[in-house]
Amino acid sequence: MILKRLFTKTAPLYLLTGTHTGLTHTQITRQALSAGIKVIQLREKRMSKKDIYKMALAMRALTTEHKAALIINDHIDIALAVNADGVHLGQEDMPLIEARRIMGGKKIIGISTHTLAQAQKAEDEGADYIGFGPVFHTGTKDAGRPRGLKALQKVREQISIPIVAIGGITSGNIREVLMSGADAAAIVSGILKGDIRRNTKDYLSALE
């Protein structure tokens, strides 16, 4: 499975794009790929679907060139239209079983989870990976109370599919997150605020 191949000990970063930095999704993608990131999720809540589609096309071209994976947040139709590697769904989005029927067996489907029960359900229904968190406090979005590393460890003990931990993960705690069972760490502001290349290298250096 493509995510298992991409989430290695030397590059376990999963970048979620955002335009709050003043850069476009395409600019972010270009810089992140040049720094070594191999999995990027297009997450955009404010643009029209037409504009998201155009952005996804540009990002697909860049990720293909760098042999990286592109995941589209929420929009199954856009993911299919641009031939993205997969889609990421939240708890309030289309049920996973229906999403799989539409996406087919070769596309990645990830699910956001916040509890062990949600994680187990996602695996049982055929998710390729789960997002779990927030592990720590995060100001990026209102994601509820931090679950902590012990909760992450319990989820790891109970499910076998890849876990992408999210929420407040910094270069100072990423090693601990991965040691607690995560296969990768989803990062937003930690990489996007400031110099994307330098921030990425700081995360990767912390794992050496």
- Active site (annotated) includes residue 43: yes
- Active site (annotated) includes residue 112: yes
- Active site (annotated) includes residue 175: no
The closest of 146, 196, 152 to 176, measured between CA atoms, is 152
Catalytic residue among 54, 100, 121, 141: 141
The string over 165-204, giving b where at least 16 C-beta atoms fall within 10 Å of a residue's C-beta and e elsewhere, is bbbbbebebbeebbebbbbbbbbbbbbbeeebeebbebbb
Q: What are the two backbone dihedrals, phi and then psi, of residue 169, each rounded to the nearest 5 degrees?
A: -90, 125
Catalytic residue among 43, 60, 107, 147: 43
Please name the residues in contact with 42: beta carbons below 8 A apart, sequence gap of 6 or more.
Answer: 17, 25, 52, 55, 56, 59, 70, 71, 72, 73, 84
Catalytic residue among 112, 147, 171, 180: 112
107: Cα separation from own chain's centroid: 15
Q: List active site positions.
A: 43, 112, 141
